[in-house]
Structure 1
Amino acid sequence: MTRKPTYGLIAEDIAHKGVYLLEKSDSLLDVISVMDKKLISAVIIEDIESLGQYYIISHTQIINFLAKYFKSPRKSQRSKSRHQHTLNSLSEIKAKELMRGPLTLIPRSTPIDEVVHFMNKMGYKRVVVGNEYNQPIGIISTKDIIRWTTDILPKGHPIMIFIQETKTGLVLASHMFRDDVAESYIDLLGGTLSAIEKITDEVLKNSGNLRYIEKDYYDIMFEANEYITVILVCDESSIELRIKLRAFMRRFMDQYSQELELRKKTNYVREISLFKLRPLIEILETD
C-alpha cells in the first residue's frame, strides 16, 4: 500500500503567501479597508521605529473592539448621522490601539509538525512566517492547517468489521463492506474465530493501549470497552475513520448494552441473539 508522506513539509510550503503591511499610525478604517479589498482576515503592523518588530490585527480583534467601543450608541442619532459618526470614529482610532505583539516570526524552514505544536501550545489561530532577514513573508492560519491535513493525510475506507465480546472472545457480529475483497484478505480475516484471535493476540502482545496495527496491504483499527472489542479492517487508518469507529461503537452500545450487561451478570452463560449491524454500519460507510 502506497502511503502519502506526512514528513518533509515546512512552514513555507503551506503558508498563505504575501502579507499586507500597515503602520501603527494608520487608522482602523484603513485596516478594515485593506482587509475588505484584499479579502484577508488579518494584516501585519510594522513598527518602523523599532526595526524588526511586527504586530498583527485580525478580524476577530476588530469585531471584539468595535463591540465594546459601540456598546452604547446614542439613541437620539439619526441613521445618517450615526453612519457618519461611525466613519469618523474609525478614522480616529489608530492601529496601535488594537495590534497585538510583538510577533515571534516562525522561520520559513520550520517543520510543519513543530508549527502545529507551537500553535496548539500557545493557543494561536494564526502565525506569521518570516524569512532569513526576519521579515514576514506569509501567514499560516488554522484554515491552512486543516486544508493541509485534508490534502496530505489519507482517507481510509472500511473493508471488514468484527464485534467481539471482550471477556469471552466470542464473535458477536461481522460485516464485509466490499464484494471485491481480495482472497488474501479472506484467507487471513475471513471471519473465523481463529483469525479474530490472531488479531487480538497481536494487540495484547504489543500494548494494551494499541489502537491499530499496520500491515502491508491493510490496517486494523480497534476500539474496546469492558463488553466488546470492535475490530475494523480498512485500506488506510485515518483520523476521520477513527471518529466514525467511535461513533459506531457508541451506537452499538446504546442499542445492545442491556443484553451485554445481562450476559455479564449471568457469567456469560446466557444465550445471545444475532446482533444486527444495519443500519449501524452506515456510520462507517458515509463519506
Structure 2
Amino acid sequence: MFSRLCRLFRKNRAHKYLMDEYSAINKLADALHKQLKTLRAMQKDIVETKIAYSARSGKATGVIGLRKTDFIEEKLINDLKWLSSNAEQRFTHACETIESTEPVSPSEKLELQQIADLLNNINDTLPKLENIMTVKDERDKALAIEAALRNVTNLCKEFHLLRRRRRKLAKEVLENEISPLVRRVYESRATLKGEHSMNIFAMTEHELRDLEREARHINSCNDPRYKIEFRKWWQRTQRPEVDFTTPLKDPHINVMMKLDGPERKIHLLLKAA
C-alpha cells in the first residue's frame, strides 16, 4: 500500500517542515491499526462461533464475508503498523535536525498528503467501536462489521487503482515528451573500439543546450525509470574536457542516461553545426 512512501523515506532525509505531516499520520495510522485489528478479531470470533452451530441451525455462517475482507488482516493492518512506526521515526529524526539545508521534497510532501487523505476517509467510514459493542444481535453485529471492513477494502482498492492509473499516465506523458534528440543519444550504438569499448555520440553545441534543458525536465519528474545525469551535474552549462581516465583523447562530456531501460554511459563529442 505504501511502497512509494517507503522509497521516498529511503531517498530523502526527514525534514523539519514535514513534522506536522509525520505526526498526524503516525497518530491516525496507529489508531486505525488498533481499531481495524479489534474489528477483525470480533468478526472472526463471531464467524467461528456461527460455524460451530451452523450444522444444527442451517443458517449462514458469515464465512463469505470474512473472506471478502481478508485484505484487512493480510495487508492493511500490517501496512498501517509499518506506517505508524516509520512516521514516528521520521518525526523523531526531524526533531533532531537543527537546520535543514535541503529543500522539502515535493514528492514526499504530496505522498504524505495523499496518504493522509486516505486515512481520513477510512476513519470517516469506520463505525465507533462503542456503537458496535451495543449491538446485541450477533448476526446484526457481524453484518455491521463486515459492511465497515468491506467499505475500507473498497477505499483502499480505489486508492491502489488510482495510483496505478496515475503512474501509467505519468509514464505515457513522460515518454511522449522525450524528444527525438534524447532518444537518438540514448539509442546510439556508435562506439570507440579499443581496449575498452566506449559509447560515443557527436552533437552540435545547440543540441547540447537542448539536451541540458531536457535533462533538467526529465530529472525533475523524479521517475526512477528516467534519468539524464552529467558527470559534472552541478554545472548548468556543460563544457567538453579531456578525461585522462579514458582512452578517448578528444575533449568530451560524460553523461549517464536511462530511458525506461538499462543505464548507458555515453561520451558526447561536439561537432560543427
Q: Structure 1 or 2: larger strand share?
A: 1
- Could you tell me the TM-score, scaled by structure 1's length? 0.28
